[in-house]
Structure 1
Amino acid sequence: MSKPELEFHAPSGPWEKPPGSAPGIRERTLAADADGAHRTALVRWAPGTDTSASGVAVHEHWEEVYVLDGDLHDLTLGETFAKDTYACRPPGMPHGPWTSDAGVTMLVVTYPDPAV
């Protein structure tokens, strides 16, 4: 399945809490295929968001993240990533947990591993 064909438009879908996410995290899906395996979303963390309770994240899909505004701090790496920084994570790559004192908005693209 592929994502829908969409010309430029103002996204208007709801900001929803992703299943199992930490308090303060909301996302707005921009495009997704029918089963959600290929997905593009805006993800917004409120000021003070802390994902420590979830521990280190590891998933079976590719994830690309571009920070549009704000910043987030990786507690494992001891580094803060700000606007205009980018991550490309292959399946199985550990990352986080994170905090964001001021809040952050990110563009997130996920897709399955084509080798599987």
Structure 2
Amino acid sequence: MKPEFEFFPVTDVPFTVCAGDDPLITERILSLDPETGVATRILRYAPGADSTPLGVQRHDFWEEVYILEGSFVDITLDRTFAAGEYACRPPGMPHGPWRTDEGVLTFEVRYPAGGRP
């Protein structure tokens, strides 16, 4: 299970480089169950970030994403998504790769295919 937290400033959690080791793509893991992979995070693409080397992404979990600030382009779809937009992706749904000129900040919740957060 994810740990219990009462309100705290998310700025207390440092950004760390995501898988793929691109220093322009970082995350703040707000809550994580290491056994199941259930997680809540803030993802940041700095201006100029491009996840093309990671290719199209498909996960074995549900993923919900809300764009807090900025915008990015899904290169495969050739479509820009911006602040105020939301996605709910079932396991296996392809998305990305992404690039951004201005930068983007998202709030994400991930949970297993058979469960809920």
Deviations 1:79-116 (A, max 9, x none): 1000010111111111111111000000011111117x
Q: Write the mapping of 1:1-116 to structure 2, written as runs, cut at 5 A.
A: 2-11=1-10, 12-35=12-35, 37-114=37-114
CA contact (8 A) 2:36 2:112 kept: no
For residues 104 and 55 of structure 1, the distance between their equivalents in structure 2, rounded to whole angstroms, comes to 18
Residue type at the aligned position of 1:95:
H
For residues 29 and 110 of structure 1, the distance between their equivalents in structure 2, rounded to whole angstroms, comes to 11
What SS does the corresponding residue of 2:16 show, helix, strand or coil? coil
For residues 36 and 71 of structure 1, the distance between their equivalents in structure 2, rounded to whole angstroms, comes to 30
For residues 21 and 80 of structure 1, the distance between their equivalents in structure 2, rounded to whole angstroms, comes to 24
For residues 60 and 7 of structure 1, the distance between their equivalents in structure 2, rounded to whole angstroms, comes to 29
Taking structure 2 as the reference length, what is the TM-score of the superposition? 0.90
Gaps of 5+ in 2: none
Gaps of 5+ in 1: none
**C-alpha RMSD over aligned residues:** 1.4
Taking structure 1 as the reference length, what is the TM-score of the superposition? 0.91
CA contact (8 A) 1:22 1:54 kept: no
CA contact (8 A) 1:62 1:113 kept: yes
Identity %: 47
